[in-house]
A and B are shown apart, each in its own frame.
Chain A
Amino acid sequence: MAFLTRELHEHKHKNGVSMPCQVSSQKGTSKGSNFFNYIKKCKSNKSIIVQPRMGFTCAGKMKAGLEAVKKLNANTIGTITLDAFTRQGDYKSSKKAIEKNQELNGYPIISHGITKTKLLVSKIQSEEFPIQMRHGTPLPLNVIDVALKAGIDATEGGPISYCMPYSRVPLAEALKNWAEACKRLAPCRNNGEIKHLESFAGCMLGQLCPPSMLIALNILECLFFKQYGVKSVSLSHTQLNNRKQDFSAIYILRKCAAEFLPDIDWHVVFYTFMGLFPETTVGTFKILLDSAQIASRAKCERIIVKAPMEAHRIPTIDENIAALELASLVGNDKTDYIHQFIIDEEEADQIYYEAKTLIDSVLNSSGNLNESILIAFEKGILDVPYCLHHDNLNKVRCSISREGYLKWENIGNLPFSKFTLCNRKTNKYLLAERLLSMLQYNRYKYDCTAV
């Protein structure tokens, strides 16, 4: 343990809070996309980029939203989030909804089509304002094709993170489809541009997934992207229930990224809490402020901000803008010396041990990464707590410890030899209530201490 701790210190010293390595351009033909270059630029300025999760049905409103984000006096990236019909490949329903003037929960990129989307993007996107498409699609080939043709050079997701929690698509099918999509995002002879792909694995089910599993899945997805030629990736982490565990997790995420992805460009994106959100006005702002502080102290290059109203409905453009402004102010406040980056070394050691064990177990199980991922889920070497997908064993359970750390309560078939289980006294007849209280942990924490 002492050795591991020392190693952590050395790592910290050597890499600061680690900078991604440079991508070597392929025979001088590769050039960075808007997204890639902008991240690099902001990183050298040491300023955090804020990004919304914005998506509107109507192209006019989408344009207005993007313009408002662009105008902000902050480092921003624009987002086009797709609607749920498009995510599920049900383009007929999204088309019908447009015709009927019904409001969807995002931008239906397929129904609007390439020409219309290209017009929208070309008017707004620039070197100073890249746009990322966020989509939630287990089979993303169609939407990624359209996005690329419309001039969007960055997207996100992953064969595990957009399949297991959100769909009924067999994992094997998602892996195949994502493989093709990744090839489209790789620089090629005709188009040497370095496009960007973010792994969404830091947000599995939004909450109640221990950080070691999130880190392992992030690394495995990025290795998957890399094997199909993707040169620029990001790893994600969503706000948990305790700041120290967040710091420890992000620290280990970077350590693993440096170890497993030494030859491609990477950065870390932080998400404001993705689970049940506080409900009071003060509570929602407090959790948002905390997330911006954590992201900036942990030197995350980018933060995806949640607007306070998101607990109740799709936020308006103004509400999105206010949240971004606030996050940028707090995230870039260089005069705040109170909130420091402090990790819990014992916890970091344990997260590293677990994440590394998971990654190694998967990589060593066969010579083929895709096969290894399938085997791992089948055997429960990878297992996401409470995930109902039929390819997930759903044998593991976790709970929130007294200090607010997410800990394993039942490790199922996870290959750990070193662990302590978190056992909270429970009444087996009150499982629903207990689950609800864990799901609402942050809601209580921020709403009750709000005043």
Chain B
Amino acid sequence: MSGNKKVTITTIPSDAHTWNLVYIQLFLEEYGFLAQNIGSCPPYDLTIRKCCEHQPDLIVVSTVNGHGYIEGLELVKRIKQSDFVNNVPVIIGGKLTTKGRLTREEKENLLKEGYSEVFEGNSAIGDFPEYLEIINGVLNKRTA
């Protein structure tokens, strides 16, 4: 299929969970993305290197271990410093803190550091297609 958008799915270095990554991959593939799934616990450098290789149109950071705020900041900082992928939109979602929800200030910090969007809580996955539609215009057509 030509013209497919490419996505890199990654997580933060300390996060060992993978169900979220497996699910997000299937989800994005259904929306026509060519997905690269980096898997659990990727060091920052590995995410950057894989992104440079794959040249994605979108980078998705999915994390549920509660360290998403701490390490998500560092990860996006490094992505934005990279000459090869600094223009790619980066989004983060999942359980981003050990306390349940981010504070408003924490969410703002994530956005300020470079995330295009932060997805949290029960409505997150429902909001996701809408976001994909917005950034990709026509991507809300199933490949069926």
Contact B27 A166, beta carbon cutoff 8 Å: no
The answer to whether the Cβ of B16 comes within 8 Å of any Cβ in the partner chain is: yes
Q: Which residues of A contact B13 (CB under 8 A)?
A: 88, 90
Min C-beta distance of B71 to chain A, whole Å: 8
Q: Dominant SS at the B interface?
A: loop
Bound Cα distance from A205 to B65, whole angstroms? 14
Contact B99 A103 (CB under 8 A): yes
Within 8 Å by CB of A166, from B41, B42, B97, B100, lies B41
Q: Does A68 contact B (CB under 8 A)?
A: no
The docked-state distance in angstroms from the alpha carbon of A390 to that of B22 is: 14
B75-118 at interface with A (beta carbon < 8 Å)? 95, 97-100
In angstroms, Cα B39 to Cα A90, docked, is 18
Cβ of A314 within 8 Å of any chain B Cβ, yes or no, is: yes
A388 touches B142 (CB 8 A): no
A85 CB contacts on chain B under 8 angstroms = 14, 67
Beta-carbon contact of A430 and B30 below 8 Å: yes
Segment at the interface with B among A27-35, A120-128, A150-158, A431-439: A431-439
**Chain B: number of interface residues, binned into ranges:** 20 to 34
Q: Is A177 an interface residue (CB 8 A)?
A: no
A312 with B100: in contact, given A84-B65, A432-B27 (CB under 8 Å)? yes
CB contacts (< 8 Å) of B66 on chain A: these are: 84, 105, 313-314
A387 within 8 A of B: yes
Residues of A within 8 A of B22 (CB): 386, 388, 435
Chain B residues with Cβ under 8 A from A87's Cβ?
14, 16
State A275–B97 Cα separation when bound (angstroms): 19
Contact between chains at A88 and B23 (CB < 8 Å) = no
Which of chain A's residues have a CB closer than 8 A to the CB of B19? 205-207, 275-276, 386, 439
Question: In the bound complex, what is the Cα–Cα distance between A376 and B2 (angstroms)?
Answer: 38
Contact in complex: A136, B16 (CB < 8 Å): yes
Whether B55 sits at the interface, judged by CB under 8 Å, is: no
Whether A337 sits at the interface, judged by CB under 8 Å, is: no
Tell whether, in the assembled complex, residue A435 and residue B42 are in contact, meaning their CB atoms are under 8 Å apart: no
Is the Cβ of B40 less than 8 Å from the Cβ of A167? yes
Task: List B10-39 residues whose CB lies under 8 Å from chain A.
Answer: 13-16, 18-19, 21-23, 26-27, 29-30, 37, 39
Taking CB atoms, residues of chain A closer than 8 Å to B18 are: 165, 205, 386-388
Chain A residues with CB under 8 Å of B41's CB are 88, 166-168
Interface string of A307-329 (1 = CB under 8 A from B): 00000111000000000000000
- Interface: A429 (CB within 8 A): yes
- CB pair A388 B26 closer than 8 Å: no
Given A103-B99, A105-B67, A105-B98, A84–B16 Cβ distance below 8 Å?
yes
Q: Are B30 and A432 in contact (CB under 8 A)?
A: yes
Asked if B70 is at the interface of the complex by the 8 Å CB criterion, the answer is yes
B144 CB within 8 Å of chain A = yes
B32 CB → nearest A CB, Å: 11
Set of chain B residues within 8 Å of A167, measured between Cβ atoms: 16, 40-41
**Cα separation A165 to B23 with both chains bound (whole Å):** 15
Q: Chain A 375-396 against B: per-residue CB contact (8 Å), 1 yes, 0 no?
A: 0000000000011111000000
Partner of B98, one of A93, A206, A314: A314
Nearest-Cβ distance from residue B70 to partner chain A, whole angstroms: 6
The reply to whether A435 and B21 form a contact with Cβ atoms under 8 Å apart is no
Distance between B68 CB and nearest chain A CB, rounded to angstroms = 11
Is A102 an interface residue when CB atoms closer than 8 A count as contact?
A: yes
Q: How far is the CA of A312 from the CA of B101 in the complex (A)?
A: 9
Give complex CA distance A87, B17 in Å.
13
A261: Cβ under 8 A from any B Cβ: no
**B142: A residues at CB distance < 8 A:** 429
Q: Digit string of A88-119 for contact with B (CB within 8 Å is 1, else 0)?
A: 10100100010000111100000000000000
Q: Can you list 30 residue pairs at the A/B interface with Cβ under 8 Å?
A: A84-B14, A88-B14, A90-B13, A102-B70, A105-B66, A105-B67, A136-B16, A165-B18, A166-B41, A167-B40, A167-B41, A168-B39, A205-B18, A206-B19, A276-B19, A313-B97, A313-B98, A386-B19, A388-B22, A389-B40, A390-B39, A429-B30, A429-B143, A429-B144, A430-B30, A431-B29, A435-B22, A435-B23, A435-B26, A439-B23
Q: Which 10 A-B pairs have the closest CB atoms?
A: A166-B16, A432-B26, A84-B14, A432-B27, A388-B39, A313-B100, A429-B144, A314-B98, A105-B66, A431-B26
* Other contacts beyond A88-B41, A313-B95, A389-B40: 16, CB < 8 A: A85-B14, A93-B14, A103-B99, A104-B67, A165-B18, A166-B16, A166-B41, A167-B41, A275-B19, A312-B100, A313-B100, A388-B18, A388-B37, A432-B29, A432-B30, A435-B23
- Chain B residues close to A by CB (< 8 Å): 13-16, 18-19, 21-23, 26-27, 29-30, 37, 39-42, 46, 65-67, 70-71, 95, 97-100, 142-144
